[in-house]
Amino acid sequence: MVTLADPGTARTSVWLAVRPAAPARRRSEGPDGLDRERITAAAVRLLDAEGLARFSMRRLAAGLGVTAMSLYWYVDTKHDLLELALDSALGELGERQEPAGPPAEGWPGRLRSLARGYRRLLVDHPWVAPLTAAYPNIGPHARAFDSALHRLLDATGLPDATRAGARLAVSQFLHGCGGTVRRPPDGEFGLALDVLIAGIQAHTAPEAGAAPASPAAPAAP
């Protein structure tokens, strides 16, 4: 799979690229105390502090106290590192979800929890929204979130024919209401979420879309 991270530039996702193991001598020459996890965590902090437009490998290296070239022992490109940072941030979703409420709330409570957690994630990490549009979301945390959404939609009882549409509606809602173009106030967000849930519920009702029954004719005397 390739993605267009820059106009006219095709690249393979970091999650699909096979990185050959470095020879023992080459590994021993790498900077002490540095690894991919530490670099990714530092990238998340830098993106939070300075934003996506100012992010660079040189700035990241300076914060870590190493040379920019040292980072390339662990990641091949800046775009690979941005993909790693994106998935790392998505890993916070499990921690951010609110309690789903009493069991009687069922899947609507779970959807509200998921949506509010995702909204807070995009508020705290504004760079996540543009990166989700630029890169394929196929890292481990992105797949875990995707699986959670699948399970939630399974719990709605939606017919198979409408499941894909509901999934698209939920995904568009999450990205649209948390994006950087216009983030709605909490009240508007809650109302929009209620409308989304009501729309799903309308398609799960047994008589959804059925014409109302005609009144019974009076019995003959």
Distance separating alpha carbons of residues 55 and 18, to the nearest angstrom:
25
pLDDT at 186: 81
CA distances 64 to 31, 33, 78, 80, 114, Å, are 11, 10, 15, 18, 34
Confidence check: pLDDT of 111 > 90? yes
Supply the pLDDT for residue 50: 96
Q: What is the pLDDT of residue 187?
A: 85
Q: Is the pLDDT of residue 113 over 80?
A: yes
Higher pLDDT, 26 or 162: 162
Q: What 8-state DSSP symbol labels residue 3?
A: E
Q: Could you tell me which residue, 208 or 90, shows the higher pLDDT?
A: 90
pLDDT computed for residue 33 by the predictor:
78
pLDDT of residue 18: 75
What is the token pair recorded at 175?
């990205």
- What's the pLDDT score for residue 178? 58
Report the alpha-carbon distance of residue 190 to residue 186 in Å, rounded.
6
Which is more confident, 26 or 9?
9
Q: Report pLDDT for 101.
A: 52
